[in-house]
Copies of this chain bind each other. A is one copy, B any other.
Amino acid sequence: MKKLINKAEDVVREELEGIELAHPDLVKVSYDPAYIVRADAPIKGKVGLVSGGGSGHEPMHGGFVGKGMLDAACPGAVFTSPTPDQMLEATKAVDGGAGVLHIVKNYTGDIMNFEMAADLARGEGIEVESVVVDDDVAVKDSTWTAGRRGVGLTVLMEKIVGAAAEEGRSLKECADLARKVNGQGRSMGMALTSCTVPHVGKPSFDLPEDEMEIGIGIHGEPGRTRMKVEPADKVTEMLLTPVVEDLPFKAGDEVLLFVNSMGGTPLIELYIIYRKAVHMLKEKGIKVTRHLIGPYITSLEMAGTSITLLKLDEDLTKLWDAPVKTAGMRWGI
């Protein structure tokens, strides 16, 4: 394992120290329990947005705390859901009287921990709503499984709902908006290499030098199929086709196209994929009107990519364009 870290058990704490030192204008950091909260929280009368999940997906979620996006993020151990006490304290710290929305990625651990936190927060008199993101079409969704995973769409949801909360929408409106985003967005990812969880010290899975894994999750969970590495254009097809067909996205749709790096895949390759994806969508009559390209929801140093499509309308587009000022996403201010 080659990493620029000190002791494996100190990784998350030391990362938080770096974030605290770098962004005092944006965030405050609590260490016990661990959460990152907007420097100006709580904001009176504004719905508080809280998310969280295992660490190792940076900049998500801590890098998305700030004006126009999240009010707080709870980092778990690497790839491990955070705990209810973190979520409870974060919820209390951002409650400005208008209630708090939990954005929860659909993993058993995240669901259960956030559920317990929401119960505890309600017990303390805070109005809490939860929205679950489950956009990963690589996973079969049925009552017989834990359902689809929450992946790339989480980033877009946090931006869009963050803008809505910022402009003063109510808790119910924010929750409905988040569910609408979840209903209109789909993702799929792949990996060229595995990643290594620091405290584990060996790769989460083995991938031979000439193979790739299609339908990978963001925690090094194995994907749908393993096959020989294909050219970028072919890989783009393998990811985008199931994404388009699942919703389905249709001719005339306007979409946001998000090409994400799993961490180790450089920008030069993302643009090659973006190019092919736009060509494919154009052929289907789907118009890319907004985009996001870069490492936004990562799996440590894993090489690979994921593609997320979100169907836009006027409201979503306006909220996407609204100013945002966080460590990981910034425009308009």
A159 to B308, CA, bound (A): 31
Q: Does A200 contact B (CB under 8 A)?
A: no
Residues of B near A270 (CB, < 8 A) are 4, 18
B264 adjacent to A21 (CB under 8 Å)? no
A272 adjacent to B192 (CB under 8 Å)? no
Q: Does A263 contact B (CB under 8 A)?
A: yes
B14 adjacent to A271 (CB under 8 Å)? yes
Interface positions, chain A 279-333, Cβ under 8 Å from B, are 288, 291, 293, 295, 298, 300-301, 303-305, 325, 327, 330-333
Q: Does A227 contact B (CB under 8 A)?
A: no
**Residue in contact with A303 in the complex, picked from B2, B19, B332, CB distance below 8 Å:** B2
Interface positions, chain A 227-286, Cβ under 8 Å from B, are 229, 231-233, 235, 263-275, 278
B298 adjacent to A266 (CB under 8 Å)? yes
- Looking at A63, A232, A269, the one whose CB has the most chain B CB atoms below 10 A away is A269
A5 to B303, CA, bound (A): 13
A47 to B325, CA, bound (A): 30
A268 adjacent to B303 (CB under 8 Å)? no
With A275-B21, A293-B22 known to touch, is A232 a contact of B6 (CB < 8 Å)? yes
With A5-B272, A18-B274, A272-B11 known to touch, is A59 a contact of B267 (CB < 8 Å)? yes
B275 adjacent to A17 (CB under 8 Å)? yes
Q: Does A82 contact B (CB under 8 A)?
A: no
**Residue in contact with A2 in the complex, picked from B55, B192, B300, CB distance below 8 Å:** B192
A282 to chain B, nearest CB (A): 9
B331 adjacent to A266 (CB under 8 Å)? no
Chain B, residue nearest A59 (CB): B267
With A14-B271, A268-B55 known to touch, is A278 a contact of B21 (CB < 8 Å)? yes
Chain B, residue nearest A14 (CB): B272
- Looking at A4, A58, A270, the one whose CB has the most chain B CB atoms below 10 A away is A4
A5 adjacent to B267 (CB under 8 Å)? no
Q: Does A32 contact B (CB under 8 A)?
A: no
A300 adjacent to B333 (CB under 8 Å)? no
With A209-B2, A265-B4 known to touch, is A272 a contact of B233 (CB < 8 Å)? no
Q: Does A182 contact B (CB under 8 A)?
A: no
Residues of B near A268 (CB, < 8 A) are 11, 15, 55-56, 58, 300
Chain B, residue nearest A20 (CB): B275
B272 adjacent to A15 (CB under 8 Å)? yes
| Residues 30-50 of chain A, each 1 if its beta carbon lies under 8 Å from chain B, else 0 | 000000000000000000000
Interface positions, chain A 147-193, Cβ under 8 Å from B, are 192-193
A162 to chain B, nearest CB (A): 17
B18 adjacent to A272 (CB under 8 Å)? yes
Q: A-B pairs with the 3 shortest C-beta distances?
A: A18-B271, A18-B275, A58-B267
- The 20 listed contacts between A and B (C-beta, < 8 Å) are A2-B212, A3-B232, A4-B232, A4-B272, A5-B232, A6-B232, A6-B272, A14-B232, A14-B272, A15-B272, A16-B271, A18-B275, A22-B274, A22-B293, A56-B268, A264-B264, A264-B266, A266-B300, A267-B295, A267-B298
